[in-house]
Amino acid sequence: MKLNKQIEGKKIGIVLSGGGVKGVAHVGILKALLENNIEPSVISGSSAGAIVGALYANGTSPEDMVLFFKDTPLFKYSHFTINKPGLFDTDKYLNSFQKYFPNNAFEALKKQLYVCTTNLQTGEPHFFSKGELLKPVLASAALPPVFSPVNLNNELHADGGIMNNFPIEPLIKNVDFIIGSNTSAFKVMDSKLLKNSLQLSQRANLLMLHANVRYKLHLPNLLFTPENLDSIGILDKRGIEKSYHIGYDYASKILEKLN
């Protein structure tokens, strides 16, 4: 049965993993879905997936999502922090986000959104879906030790991918058809590519993300795992356009086969 017939009349949800700049591949995947008249109405995301999910839920076009990632500074001198743990003060990124989300509330979004963070004090993943929007989204993408944790309800929250990089749980009993987009897939790596502390740190982070994802990848009805994202650094803004096109081309080919 063709995919469009299979999902006709069904409530569709999509789960978006973390992955830093690689997560911009989610934008390309969403563009391909929309071009095939597949429009998820419930979104759950961690880290980069939370940002993409919020933009999508707000009605932002894929093209404008890419512009958002290009225009938002990752490393800005004025955002350095001394009094908080982390190199950059996550709260200082609020202004960049407010331009896209002037109402700053989950209830103002056009689609239902769940944002996953990690509560650093309890060691548990936490889902936000009501009330203030931007601080939970920023917390979900606050990768330690680069970005400082965010104070939410008097507790410190950081990157959702630490504990749950594929936050499918809110969708399981809430929708009829689940689409998964995982941009944290990895390949076996040659030891020659682990020469310095940065490479080692990025590899360890990727392994951590994969560890809390792999046992859930069989749950979506349709799963996208874009290939060739390995060469893109987690925080390398030069990879934004490449990541977007990889996601779009990958999803377009799969959807063409299914329809």
Give the active site residues.
47, 159
CA distance 13 to 19: 20
Q: Verify cis geometry, omega within 30 degrees of 0, for the bond prior to 136.
A: no
Helices 48-57 and 25-35 cross at an angle (nearest 10°) of 30
CA distance 228 to 197: 23
Closest CA to 243 of 74, 55, 65: 65
Distances (CA, A) of 88 to 4, 74, 142, 234: 44, 9, 9, 16
